[in-house]
Amino acid sequence: MTGRLIVLVGASGVGKDSVLAHARQRLDALAQGGRVRFARRAVTRPAGAGGEDHLPLSEDEFHTALEQGRFALWWGSHGLHYGIDREIDDWLADGLTVVVNGSRAQLPQAWQRYPGLEAVVLTAHPGTLAERLAARGREDEAAVAARLARTPPPLPDGLARIEIANDGELAEAGERFLAVLLGTSAGNGAATP
């Protein structure tokens, strides 16, 4: 792996899609987008379900793609399946920075496959998460409460990571993430191993 693999993780409602969109727009405005690729996730969710621009797959289509070895990374969460196409391997081989909207629970397997991967952990206070989850309207109150009660798995010891808080204006977290992509900052004080 000669490029950089950056995996953005965080709880549902933390604003990963918004931070990714902000960074993408800013990279384009700065004419820096050519060296950064954003992986599009395959998800077993309908295209019109809101949120990210994803490749919608049925359960059968997802499992067929998995059996055919199309995914470099894959995981399940909250009744859905997610996959990242193997094209990221070509991008990394070309020396590009590759950004994946990932899963904290899947990070150990991703790190094993890509030892140089960098995790960016997006955080927000529980009240902020509750408001955002309710506003997006994908789930009922019980499902939102279950998401908020979930304890995230610990990150593996030794994994390079940066933490970015996303409780304020989107531009603040978005610019911190952009700085990470451009290699000019380490988020807001959190840590590498």
Q: What is the CATH number of the domain that holds 121?
A: 3.40.50.300
In a domain, 28, yes or no: yes
In a domain, 127, yes or no: yes
Q: Residue 88 class from Cβ within 10 Å (0-12 exposed, 13-18 middle, 19+ buried)?
A: buried
Task: Report pTM.
Answer: 0.85
CA distance 107 to 29: 31
In a domain, 81, yes or no: no
With cut-offs at 50, 70 and 90, classify the pLDDT of residue 190: very low
With cut-offs at 50, 70 and 90, classify the pLDDT of residue 191: very low
Whether 129 shows a pLDDT value over 70: the answer reads yes
pLDDT of residue 136: 73
Total number of domains constituting the chain: 1
In a domain, 74, yes or no: no
Give the torsion through C-alpha atoms of 14, 18, 24, 27, to 10 deg. Answer: -80
- DSSP 8-state code for residue 191: -
In a domain, 158, yes or no: yes
Quote the domain boundaries for residue 131.
4-39+95-182
In a domain, 61, yes or no: no
In a domain, 113, yes or no: yes
In a domain, 30, yes or no: yes
